[in-house]
Amino acid sequence: MAGPAAKKAQAQGLGPCTSTYTAVFQMISPAQKKALQTATVDPQRIAVRTPDKIEMPAEAVRASATFSDDDLGSYTLEYLKNDWFITD
């Protein structure tokens, strides 16, 4: 969920997402981390592109903490190999 911050860190020369993800996760507040544990998604805010591909904007996330697009970003999810994966 911290994709935008990871992309920003990589652009600033801190390395690829795979090596900086731990640092990016630390940028999320403790309240936001706790809220993500019970977060849900509002299906009315999801854009279904095909039966196995959806667009999920940050505003679709329902949680006890507030998140912006800068916090979570918007994602393309695809159903591949019997599970959903973020592909973009």
Model pLDDT, residue 29: 84
The Cβ-side half-sphere exposure at 59, using a 13 Å CA radius, reads 3
- In this prediction, residues 10-18 reach a mean pLDDT of 73
Model pLDDT, residue 69: 78
- In this prediction, residues 1-12 reach a mean pLDDT of 66
* Tens-digit pLDDT profile for residues 26-53: 777 888 889 988 999 999 999 999 999 9
Q: pTM of this prediction?
A: 0.63
